[in-house]
Structures are given as C-alpha cells and as structure tokens.
Structure 1
Amino acid sequence: MSVAEIFERVDKNKDGKISWDEFAEAIRAFSPSITSEEIDNMFREIDVDGDNQIDVAEYASCLMLGGEGNKEDEDIVMKEAFDLYDIDGDGKISASEIHVVLKRLGEKQTIAECIAMVRAVDADGDGFVSFEEFKTMMSCNNKKLQ
C-alpha cells in the first residue's frame, strides 16, 4: 500500500488533510489503550506547520522519523510523496503544481507564494523542485521534528 493510499484511508472526510479526530481513530485502531494526551503529543510532532491538520507531506515525512526503515524504504516513501506534487510526471515540481496541490488541500496560497516556496529550496536555480531538492527539504523538516 502506498503512502497516498494509507493517507486516503485515514482521511475519512476526503478533504485532503487528517484532522485530530481522524488521526486519533487510526491510532486507536492499532493501540486502543493509548491516551488522548499521547495522541495529542504525536499529532503535534507530525503537524509541522501547526495548522491542526496533517497534510500529505507532513504524513510522508512522519513515516521516516522512526529511523527503523532503511535508506531504500525512505527513498520509496519520499518518491511517493514527491509524485503527489509532480502532477505532470516530468520529474520536477513547479510552482503551479504546488499551487494546484495546495488548493486541493484547502490551502489558500497564491501562485506568488508558491513561487517563493520553490525558490526557497531550488538549489540549482532552474525554477523547479527536483527530487533531490525535495528530499533535502523534507530532511530539514524531519530535523525540526526531532
């Protein structure tokens, strides 16, 4: 099962984000005795941007936090997350692709803000986010969580 498929199963209302309630339901399915406080702590660690919802990038990033998987597993998860944003499948993410994905997730970023996001991680200056740049960006997010 891919990252996207798992995410979609947890996202019960199909709004493109996992709410605290959806997250708690999924966690309790595997660990019925977990406390709400423990769930809340986990949720806050994964919700990097603090918007009280877990988006697909945060979700994919959290799958790599445990360090239990090997490098190959991490690359597979990362590639699946990258592919969610790479709508046209050309191997790079444009600002317009980010804009489309964020709109689907209910975000209200402008195209100018999406361009700024790309520029922030675009190490080679080509105007796109490559897979390697995406991995670097996500690795930085992981370090913030630990």
Structure 2
Amino acid sequence: MSYVKVFESIDKNKDGKISWDEFSQWIRAFSPLMTSEEIDEMFTELDADGDRQIDIVEFAKCYVVGEKEEEEEAVLKEAFDLYDLNRDGKISPGELHVVLKRLGRNKSMEQCVKMVGAVDADQDGHVSFEEFKTMMNSDSKTLL
C-alpha cells in the first residue's frame, strides 16, 4: 500500500492532516499497550513543523527507505512484526484478521484466509517473512 493510501486511511475526518487522536488510534491498532507518552514522542518526531498535525509531506518522510539493503530489510521486518502478533515468525489468517479489525478494515475470517493464501508460496497456511518480503516488493500488497 502506498504511503498516500495509508495516510488517507489514518486521516479519518479527511481534512488532509493526521491529528494526534487519529495517529494514536492507528498506532494502538498495532501496539495496544503503547503509552500515550510513547505515542506522543513518535507523533512529535513526525510533526516537523510543530503544528500538532502531521501532513502528507511529514508522513511521507517516515516511509523513506534508505538505499542500503539492510535498512530496507529492517523496515520490512518491522512491518512484518506488526502483523505477527504472537512473534512466531509467521502471519496467520487470525493475526491478519485481528490487525485489520483494529485498523477499522473489517474483513471476514474467510477473506483473511484468502488473503494469506494469495501470498502463501509454500502453502503452509501462514505468511513467512520471506513471503511477506516478496509480496511487499511486488505490485500487489495483498495484506495491506
């Protein structure tokens, strides 16, 4: 998913800016135990002009990936870990269902099984990190 689409999904009131509340809701979808102070720290880091809102340019900066392969790998691993809730090294349809629900993208369990199946190259019923990387480097970002 492009950063523009992610931005638009976070910007619930469609005013072209992400408020602290919108940002907090998005972060808590992935990390429900994150404190308000931690969220505020992240928000402040992204809010370059200090207007207490994140615009598309400020948001895009968090999506800039360095040219080094290790940096890209680290960013992809971080994204993968957001879905791998039980930290077993694979994304199950159930984990996908939970994360998408937290993001307000209600998909049925059956839809989540199909989404996982679409990128599950070894047909084990889960998305491994290697399968996730392949998906993220393709034009089809099925899980996002």
TM-score range, shorter chain: 0.5 to 0.7
Which residue in the other structure is 2:48 paired with? 29
Which residue in the other structure is 2:64 paired with? 63
Q: Does the residue aligned with 1:109 lie in a helix, a strand or coil?
A: coil
Which residue in the other structure is 2:115 paired with? 117
Which residue in the other structure is 1:132 paired with? 130
Give the superposition deviation at 1:114: 0.5
Which residue in the other structure is 2:25 paired with? 15
More helix by percentage: 1
Q: Does the residue aligned with 1:107 lie in a helix, a strand or coil?
A: coil
User: Unaligned 5+ residue runs, structure 1?
Assistant: 1-9, 18-24, 47-58
Give the superposition deviation at 1:29: 2.1
User: Unaligned 5+ residue runs, structure 2?
Assistant: 1-17, 28-43
Task: Give the 3 Å change call, closer, same or farther, for CA 142–121 of structure 1 in structure 2.
Answer: closer
Q: Does the residue aligned with 2:138 lie in a helix, a strand or coil?
A: helix
Which residue in the other structure is 2:97 paired with? 99
Identity %: 48
The two structures have a TM-score, normalised by structure 1, of 0.58
Deviations 1:70-112 (A, max 9, x none): 0001111111110110001100000000000011111111111
Task: Give the 3 Å change call, closer, same or farther, for CA 76–95 of structure 1 in structure 2.
Answer: same
Task: Give the 3 Å change call, closer, same or farther, for CA 122–77 of structure 1 in structure 2.
Answer: same
Displacement over 6 Å in runs of 4+: 25-28
Aligned residues: 103
Letter in 2 for 1:127: G
Higher RCO by CA contacts (8 Å cutoff, separation 6 or greater): 1
